Structure 1
Amino acid sequence: MNERARERAGAGQVCGVRVAQRFSRVERSATVALLETVQRLRREGVAVLDLSGGEPDFTTPDAVIAETVTALEGGDTHYTPSRGLPELLGVIGEKLATENGVHVDPATGIVVTPSAKQALFTALMTVLDPGDEVIVPTPAWVSYPAMAGLIGARAVPAELRAEDGFRLSRQLLESRLTDRTRAVVVNTPANPTGHVLDEAEAAQIVAFAMKHDLVLIVDEIYEKIVYDGHRHLSLASLPGAAERTLTVNGFSKAYAMTGWRLGYLAGPEPLIAQALKVQEHTVSCAASFVQRGGVAALTRAADDVTAMLKEYTIRRELTVTALNALPGVTCTYPEGAFYAFADIRGTGLTSAGFAQVLLERAAVTVAPGSAFGAAGEGYVRLSFAASRDVLEGAGARLAGLAGEWPEG
């Protein structure tokens, strides 16, 4: 068998046509698949209560909508610079400096992207080559390892433990280091666990990265959603971290702008200069009028964010209380984000089995912990970004299941 034939034999086939081998390492998004299941069941007339997704039910702040409408009516519908509108770059730079202690030149240290997800993929594309490794603490958002796989790199899981509060230690990081390690992904506040990075933990992560000359890719999309006096800490603000940290953020979660698809990547100029090439040769730029809305979000929507956080706090209480009332289920209060990560090991079910029981018997959808990596097995993630009515309805349905867990 010649080299070309061996290549064909090892590659995937779609309708007899060769597809790239990278897809053998990547599955579809489990959370997107759940959303599609919910939509299908609702079309079929099933009154599903969806607690599986990460989408705020709030309306986008009025100031953001008004600014965007004005931009559209004014004909602001054309290309912008690939880096982003100067006005938006300026307010992002100011926000990073005043709120996060992160100092970058807005003209060279930021790229505005069509979604934080795109910013993450751009960051990984910037620092990883095929065959490289990136350490990903797990349980983790489903797309981190998939993105690495699409690049041809490998995500190495660093399994966190609930008994340790899902905290990341330098010892754990050192145990996952190889000569192929190039970066570490950190998510704070974390999806799905709700853990918020503390100062001691952050110092260990930065010390590890500095010792081994690694890049830190830090996903801060939930930064404004924290509870009980916890404080969001940006890794790039720590001594020695700025020169090796790419900070990812966006507008979807804090400002209820999921459909607007707006995010940004910030970091040292040498890395951002390369990230800009990814932007220029893929998406070109974020939508012009959406960027105008981003300016309004950062400058005129603080009260809306405060109101949403107040409501999330109430919903968190409803959700955790309902879960802890179920036999075999325990749930601690998340420190940040809007997910409850419930321990269901006492039910005798797997996470996928528990989710299936809830769907079949109560028409309630949750995300099985196994979707977030092997370390998530024995847990399920419930989103309290849904309305109070939905959460209370789901709680009543779950209460009706109490004591009815099937065996196995």
Structure 2
Amino acid sequence: MAAERALEEGHTHYTEDKGIPALRRAIAEKENMKARADISEEQVLVTPGATGALFAACMSLIDCGDEVIIQAPSYPGHIRAVTVSGGKPVPVSLEEDYDFVMNLDELDEKVTSKTKVIIVSSPTNPTGTVFERDVLKAIVEIAVDNELFIVSDEVYEHFVYDDAEFGSVREFPGMEHRTVLVNSFSKTYAMTGWRIGYAIAPKEITSRMAKFSCASSMCVNSIAQYGALAALEGPQKCVDAMLTEYDERRRFVVKELSKIPGVRFVEPKGAFYVFPNVEELEMNSLELVKYLVREARVLLSPGYPFFGSKGRFHVRLSYTASLNALRIAMERINSALRELEGT
């Protein structure tokens, strides 16, 4: 309705580079409520999805040859944004034996004089990890000690389950001056095709990012901006309902995975993915994905090359499909893998 109304009212022209003022104000208000902050609309940049925000952040913060810490396994968009900006991605392990929590000793060791940025994503894609506050605090301390910026990817902020709690590095004292927050309407409001997200940063960084965003896309689709504004200002019961549904799907998938021989996994506490380890099946991730497509007619994402070398013996299973579709898929996967194992 909001998009239709925007069309009827003639909001079909270029908007301000940073986005329409009403949407930027609504985003600032939402983030202020979340983090008890004092964000102004001048700090908000509306972008073509979170991807646009990531690229604008990296282009604004990174010079050629700068090193950027990324999580491993990592969302591939982080790697692309760093490399296109001339930076060098430096992976730091999410340790599977410790529920895919970042290895803080390794993080500290890999920071050098060339390091400029740490990209933090929690809840994470592909592992579904939610970093606890003490982990975020340790990352913040390393960033402060080494005068680094943190790009905080928070697109899955609402997707947390059981006793997990979402936290942001921006909530720590002083981090408002060295954090670029990246978020999106794609996940929370199921608006993936609308291609609209945003970044929040110190004013001087936001202004720098806006120049890159304008050069690459002029502005975000005007109709999408009015749709996003309606999503923020409207009732939020749909978000709660979606989270309840996803939690039911998560529990189902975890239960079914536990029945399959040769597969082990860390139960996800966030996002909407499971990242099983399939090394005991004696296939790498890409071989297994091809096998399941052929024998089960089910498509998973290969851990490698999609999520980097740390995903070589993992696959990513997304539980965004309906519960009925997941029942069919899990039955087929179970049958195909039991046949592979001869059980």
TM-score range, shorter chain: over 0.9
Q: Of the candidates 221, 240, 247, which is equivalent to residue 306 of structure 1?
A: 240
**Are the counterparts in 2 of residues 110 and 266 from structure 1 also a CA contact under 8 Å?**
yes
Indicate whether 1:391 and 2:336 are aligned.
no
Q: Of the candidates 351, 356, 373, which is equivalent to residue 308 of structure 2?
A: 373
**Are the counterparts in 2 of residues 93 and 105 from structure 1 also a CA contact under 8 Å?**
yes
How many Å apart are 1:169 and its aligned residue?
4.1
Query: Which amino acid in the other structure matches residue 148 of structure 1?
Result: V
Query: Which amino acid in the other structure matches residue 240 of structure 2?
Result: T
The CA deviation string for residues 91-137 of structure 1, in whole angstroms up to 9 with x for no partner, is 1001001013343211x211001111110111111101111110001
Q: Trace 1:108-123 onto structure 2 (pairs within 5 A).
A: 108-123=42-57
Indicate whether 1:78 and 2:23 are aligned.
no
**Are the counterparts in 1 of residues 184 and 196 from structure 2 also a CA contact under 8 Å?**
yes
Query: Which amino acid in the other structure matches residue 192 of structure 1?
Result: P
Q: Of the candidates 157, 163, 177, which is equivalent to residue 229 of structure 1?
A: 163
Count matched residues.
341
Q: Trace 1:76-225 onto structure 2 (pairs within 5 A).
A: 76-106=11-41, 108-225=42-159
Query: Which amino acid in the other structure matches residue 383 of structure 1?
Result: S
Unaligned segments of structure 2, at least 5 residues = none
The CA deviation string for residues 215-234 of structure 1, in whole angstroms up to 9 with x for no partner, is 10010001111100321111
How many Å apart are 1:252 and its aligned residue?
0.3
Structure 2 partner of 1:67:
2
Structure 2 Cα separation of the partners of residues 329 and 344 of structure 1: 5
**Are the counterparts in 2 of residues 319 and 384 from structure 1 also a CA contact under 8 Å?**
yes
- What secondary structure sits across from 1:196 in the alignment? coil
**Are the counterparts in 1 of residues 68 and 88 from structure 2 also a CA contact under 8 Å?**
yes
Query: Which amino acid in the other structure matches residue 14 of structure 2?
Result: Y
Query: Which amino acid in the other structure matches residue 174 of structure 2?
Result: G
Query: Which amino acid in the other structure matches residue 143 of structure 2?
Result: A
Query: Which amino acid in the other structure matches residue 209 of structure 1?
Result: A
Larger relative contact order (Cα-Cα within 8 Å, sequence gap ≥ 6): 1
Structure 2 Cα separation of the partners of residues 173 and 102 of structure 1: 28
Q: Which runs of 4+ in 1 moved over 6 A?
A: none
- What secondary structure sits across from 2:126 in the alignment? coil
Structure 2 partner of 1:400:
335
Structure 2 Cα separation of the partners of residues 205 and 171 of structure 1: 10
Query: Which amino acid in the other structure matches residue 272 of structure 2?
Result: F
The farther-off stretch of 261-270 and 276-285 is 276-285
The CA deviation string for residues 30-81 of structure 1, in whole angstroms up to 9 with x for no partner, is xxxxxxxxxxxxxxxxxxxxxxxxxxxxxxxxxxxx1111111111101111
Query: Which amino acid in the other structure matches residue 109 of structure 1?
Result: Q
Structure 2 Cα separation of the partners of residues 266 and 147 of structure 1: 17
**Are the counterparts in 2 of residues 169 and 204 from structure 1 also a CA contact under 8 Å?**
no
> TM-score with structure 1 length normalisation?
0.81
Structure 1 partner of 2:184:
250
Structure 1 Cα separation of the partners of residues 265 and 37 of structure 2: 34
- What secondary structure sits across from 2:316 in the alignment? strand
Structure 2 partner of 1:291:
225
Structure 2 Cα separation of the partners of residues 241 and 144 of structure 1: 21
Taking only the aligned residue pairs, the percentage that are identical comes to 36
**Are the counterparts in 2 of residues 225 and 309 from structure 1 also a CA contact under 8 Å?**
yes
Structure 1 Cα separation of the partners of residues 47 and 338 of structure 2: 48
How many Å apart are 1:301 and its aligned residue?
3.9
Indicate whether 1:329 and 2:237 are aligned.
no
Structure 2 Cα separation of the partners of residues 342 and 299 of structure 1: 38
How many Å apart are 1:148 and its aligned residue?
1.4
Query: Which amino acid in the other structure matches residue 313 of structure 1?
Result: D
Q: Trace 1:335-374 onto structure 2 (pairs within 5 A).
A: 335-370=269-304, 371-374=306-309
- What secondary structure sits across from 1:329 in the alignment? coil
Structure 2 partner of 1:270:
204
How many Å apart are 1:405 and its aligned residue?
2.2
The farther-off stretch of 318-327 and 397-406 is 397-406
Structure 2 Cα separation of the partners of residues 340 and 138 of structure 1: 15
- What secondary structure sits across from 2:187 in the alignment? coil
Query: Which amino acid in the other structure matches residue 79 of structure 1?
Result: Y
Query: Which amino acid in the other structure matches residue 197 of structure 1?
Result: F
Structure 2 Cα separation of the partners of residues 115 and 102 of structure 1: 23
Structure 1 Cα separation of the partners of residues 263 and 61 of structure 2: 41
- What secondary structure sits across from 2:143 in the alignment? helix
Structure 2 Cα separation of the partners of residues 170 and 150 of structure 1: 27
Structure 2 partner of 1:282:
216
- What secondary structure sits across from 1:364 in the alignment? coil
Query: Which amino acid in the other structure matches residue 235 of structure 1?
Result: V
How many Å apart are 1:346 and its aligned residue?
2.0
